[in-house]
Amino acid sequence: MNGEYTKINDFLVTVFHEVLRTEEASLKTKAFKNLSMREMHVIAAVCELEKTKTNTASNIAMTQNITSGTLATAINTLEKKGYVRREQDMRDKRVVRILATDKGKAANEIHAMFHHQLVLAIMSALSPQELAVFVNGLAAVQKFFKEQKLWSGTAGFIIQPEQ
Amino acid sequence: MNGEYTKINDFLVTVFHEVLRTEEASLKTKAFKNLSMREMHVIAAVCELEKTKTNTASNIAMTQNITSGTLATAINTLEKKGYVRREQDMRDKRVVRILATDKGKAANEIHAMFHHQLVLAIMSALSPQELAVFVNGLAAVQKFFKEQKLWSGTAGFIIQPEQ
DNA sequence: GGATTTATCTTGAACATCAAAATTTTCTTG
DNA sequence: CAAGAAAATTTTGATGTTCAAGATAAATCC
């Protein structure tokens, strides 16, 4: 087999999970220890979507790829813990807007700082020239996934039916 | 902010989860639909560790970063489903070796095929020159994580105490 | 204004996970 | 070599996550 192939595959199986685990571990060591990964990401989504006034329950659930029922329970506990609060939309009283409390915003800041440090760490592992091409590569992969969004969620794409 | 910084960060928050989700979705569409991601990875680990005769329960748990109790229950269900079997080590009768059945090996093959297709897809998204540098970048990042393994699992590293 | 659609929440079931206790086997040491 | 310590694994009990399906409430559409 080809060396590039092997390196990419290794990266996928090894580093991917390592990064996720590192992220999770960092959560447990900081203030706000009582947040799961899921909860942290919900808070981050709330903060992000608040900016564009798209912070409705169903939209948050969609961006996180979870059902609205799952989100509802997550919001229940986050509300109990004081990180977010609900607010009924005045125009359409069916929709519930989720808002981050000050505590939620603080947690988001700290989590963003983790991402910041991680990205800086990755950048520092590459020379400026490497970095430029590397980033292009990432963008290409990202574009690829964006355009083929069909894959995930729908009937098995990547692995074609046996012919 | 710097464009490269933003692209790396975007990649981490967007594409990472996309890839994982795609992997999970592909699992559900193929034969062996009754396997969770965790179970699939346990089977993969069993197949891998069998090669080096290091397929003991505790070692598998370690490579998967789960407790031995969690692994025991996972093995219970995988055994019930017919993907793995237990075998007492003859030298040290405390240790249990986990072996993949033919069905387990078949599932592993199919899962490996998913990885294969994913890597090919990524490779095809880049020009040969881009690919070469991209792979170097991945290797640098991987090396970085390998050497700094301390981070995950130990007291909060990446996010330094506020000075 | 009644039927339908939409947004959300609740409930119940299935898993996953961990910590701690229990079990079995091996090692150590006097 | 026997008693106690250590090691590998499994069981148990508790907690958390997730989804599907049903329930509720509000808006929209003839």
Burial classification of residue B154, based on how many CB atoms lie within 10 Å of its CB (0-12 exposed, 13-18 middle, 19 or more buried): exposed
Tokens of A6: 């092997």
**Where residue B131 falls among pLDDT bands split at 50, 70, 90?**
confident
Write down how long chain B is: 163
With 50 as the cut, is the pLDDT of residue A158 above it?
no
Chain D positions with a protein C-beta closer than 7 Å: 7-13, 16-22, 25-28
With 70 as the cut, is the pLDDT of residue B150 above it?
no
Q: What is the 3-state secondary structure (H, E, C) of chain B?
A: CCHHHHHHHHHHHHHHHHHHHHHHHHHHHCCCCCCCHHHHHHHHHHHHHHHCCCCEHHHHHHHHCCCHHHHHHHHHHHHHHCCEEEEECCCCCCCEEEEECHHHHHHHHHHHHHHHHHHHHHHHCCCHHHHHHHHHHHHHHHHHHHHCCCCCCCCCCCCCCCC
- Residue A84's pLDDT is what? 97
Beta bridge partners of B98: B86
Tens digits of residue pLDDT in B86-116: 999 999 999 999 999 999 999 999 888 888 8
Instruction: Yes or no: say if A107 and A32 are a contact pair by the CB < 8 Å rule.
Output: yes
Average pLDDT over residues A47-54: 97
Backbone angles phi, psi at B96, to 5 degrees: -115, 125
Tokens of A75: 């919001």
Identify the residue with better confidence: A108 or B147: A108
With 90 as the cut, is the pLDDT of residue A70 above it?
yes
Task: Render A24-36 in DSSP notation, one character per residue.
Answer: HHHHHHSS-TT--
- Residue A156's pLDDT is what? 39
- Residue A1's pLDDT is what? 63
Rounded to whole angstroms, the distance from the CA of residue A94 to the C1' of nucleotide D26 is: 5
Instruction: Yes or no: say if B32 and A156 are a contact pair by the CB < 8 Å rule.
Output: no
| CA separation for the pair A20, B33 (Å, rounded) | 25
- Residue of B16, B110, B122 with shortest CB distance to A19: B16
- The pTM of the full predicted model, rounded to 2 decimals, is 0.84
- Residue B13's pLDDT is what? 81
Nucleotide nearest to B56 (CA to C1'): D8
Average pLDDT, chain A: 84
Burial classification of residue A48, based on how many CB atoms lie within 10 Å of its CB (0-12 exposed, 13-18 middle, 19 or more buried): middle
Is B112's Cβ below 8 Å from some Cβ in A? no
Q: State whether the Cα torsion A61-A153-B74-B53 is positive or negative.
A: negative
Phi-psi region of B82 (alpha: psi -120 to 50; beta: other; left: phi over 0): left
Beta-carbon contacts of residue B155 (< 8 Å; ≥ 6 apart)? A29
- Residue B105's pLDDT is what? 95
Q: CA nearest B22 in A: which residue?
A: A152
Q: Do A137 and B117 touch (CB under 8 A)?
A: no
With 60 as the cut, is the pLDDT of residue B162 above it?
no
| CA separation for the pair A75, A57 (Å, rounded) | 9
Beta-carbon contacts of residue B121 (< 8 Å; ≥ 6 apart)? A144, A148, A158
Nearest of A68, A98, A73, A67 to residue A83 by alpha carbon: A98
Residues lining strand D, beta carbon within 7 angstroms: A 36, 38-39, 65-67, 69-70, 73-74, 77, 91-94; B 56-59, 68-69, 71-73, 75-76, 86, 92, 94-97
Residue with token string 């290794």: A10
| CA separation for the pair B54, B84 (Å, rounded) | 15
Average pLDDT over residues A141-160: 52
Tens digits of residue pLDDT in B53-78: 999 999 999 999 999 999 999 999 99
